[in-house]
Amino acid sequence: MEENILDRVEAVAETDGRYQKAGYLFLYEALQHTVGKMGKTALPKEQRHVSGWDLLQGISEYGLDQFGPLTRSVFAHWGISQTADFGRMVFNLIEAELMSKTPQDCVEDFVEVYDFAEEFDWKKRKAQFKRLPAS
């Protein structure tokens, strides 16, 4: 990410105060993951939109891939304990003109989409995230 965007994300995190900058940066990475998974990477920027539900599915998958059994702990460290937190973060970034939305998008799209305890239950999900052995 370019420095100007990083500074603006940091300003959003500081202004809101609930979520750490690292959480916002993770959100951008999870968005890129989701756009790629949906096959939209090559589309023009205005056609890469993903719904709140799609983004939350991407966040779950990307978070578990990155942090494994520590996903909930990492999110909690960043101030994120439920899907609505990601919605508030997205809309903070929209307000700062760092993300965009369609007229149909609203913060309520992120409310109670899944329960963190169930979604990030590593014992149930770890088989989906097997890593290659180190060489």
Global confidence as pTM: 0.88
Residue-level pLDDT at 15: 95
- Within 8 A by CB and 6+ apart from 100, the residues are 49, 94
pLDDT band of residue 39 (cuts 50, 70, 90) is confident
- Within 8 A by CB and 6+ apart from 89, the residues are 19, 23, 24, 27, 80
Percent of the chain with pLDDT over 90: 75
pLDDT band of residue 44 (cuts 50, 70, 90) is confident
What does the mean pLDDT of the chain come to?
A: 90
